[in-house]
Amino acid sequence: MLPQEIGRRLMLVCNSCGYREQASQEDKRKISTKEADVIVVEKRGELAPTTHVICPNCGADRAYWWIRQTRAADEPSTRFYKCVKCGKVWREYV
């Protein structure tokens, strides 16, 4: 979710679906500007997106996923998963 000023209020807006919610005081402290004017908002407990993948720990079929560059820039990224049911985190080298 990206911060956006609407009127005099700071709102967090999803750029995929357009969902809006008012930013709390805690959210306002977590909004930070990084290089190239990229704004990052961290919200605890809310990870996205999810995908269909089997958890090696509990067998659930849904997990959150994200990608990080964990090796040299000329090597592929690493995809991480976190099971929606049990919370186990595992990785897959893409």
Positions annotated as catalytic residues are 74-75
Cα 12 off chain centre by: 14
**CA 67, 70, 76, 79 torsion-angle sign:** negative
CA distances from 73 to 65, 68, 70, 78 (A): 20, 11, 9, 12
